[in-house]
Amino acid sequence: MKRAYQGSLIADALAMPVHWYYDRETLDRDYPDLSTFQPPQQNHPDSIFWRSNYTALNEKGDILHDQAQFWGIKNIHYHQNLKAGENTVNYKLATALYEQVTTIGRYDSEAWLARYIENMLTPGWHRDTYLEEYHRGFFANYAQGKAPEKCGIKDEHIGGLSQVPALVAAHQGLPHEEIRQAVKTHVALTHRHSNVLRAADCLTRLLLDLNEGIPLREAIMQSAGDWFSTRKALTWESRPDRTVIGQIMSPACYIAEAFPAALYLAWKYHDDFTAAIIANARVGGDSCHRGAVVGSLTALSHPEGLEPWIEARPG
């Protein structure tokens, strides 16, 4: 199961420089080769994060640290400080979660919230410039004095799945219902949206299916029928990925379309991890967070494809 967790990290790191590119021509111009990890360029001409706002109410909400100076400026890359092969903040959190659970032997929501808050408030712990709405909402509430377990918001983005493969992997060998409950509890701390919770449970069930030896396409048909139509996918697979995810499904971050889009890429490239994560990066949009699905599922289905990527990772 650890392969699923590793696959999610690799998919995120590969997609990191092209994260939230929606103009595919610009993506191809700026990053013509995505067969290896690439560093982000300083500018992101397709960036819209300059429209976002966040001002810390007090020190309990200061999660931007020295990156606050870049907010409101056009063309700043979301991940401008990261190196080739480095993970974005949601997957750094996934690594911290995996390490905590495997160390103490179980999931403890209070312990996790303490770790999450400590990490995000520590200058230099993360080097991302942009932080998703769920982080900003959580720490705005925390700065106002709310209890940590009540700081989550009703966020409906696929970023809520980023830590699911890590949490499932850390619970390998435990009863399935216990794993599913841990995932639900964890995701609900930051993403109190029914569709995100449904998708998180679906991804959990798929990972458990694969771990029992069920082929990926069969697992998707068996456990993801309320999100994905194999019949439709069979009619789409001969079309370019950018047509399917661009005209039929959105490449954007909202869970209602982002999760089926990720399932489609995992279904199409079920037997080729490398092809899957490259395709995910190349279609643009919220590619880093789709990577939690595409990377974890295809890594567990096709684990032999991981080794070159693991070796190429920094550190």
Q: Report pLDDT digits (tens) over 152-203.
A: 999 999 999 999 999 999 998 999 999 999 999 999 999 999 999 999 999 9
State the average pLDDT for the chain: 96
Answer yes or no: is pLDDT of 74 > 80.
Answer: yes
- Domain map of the chain by residue range? 2-312
pLDDT in tens, 202-237: 999 999 999 999 999 999 999 999 999 999 999 999
Do residues 273 and 305 lie in contact, with contact meaning Cβ atoms separated by under 8 Å? yes
Average pLDDT of the residues in 122-138: 96
What number of other Cβ atoms are within 10 A of residue 35's Cβ?
8
Select 2-312's CATH number: 3.30.300.30, 1.10.4080.10, 3.40.50.300, 3.40.50.150.
1.10.4080.10
Do residues 13 and 87 lie in contact, with contact meaning Cβ atoms separated by under 8 Å? yes
Question: Rounded to an integer, what distance in angstroms lies between the CA atom of residue 31 and that of residue 288?
Answer: 15
Question: Rounded to an integer, what distance in angstroms lies between the CA atom of residue 9 and that of residue 239?
Answer: 28
Q: How many CA atoms lie within 13 A of 64 on its CB side?
A: 22
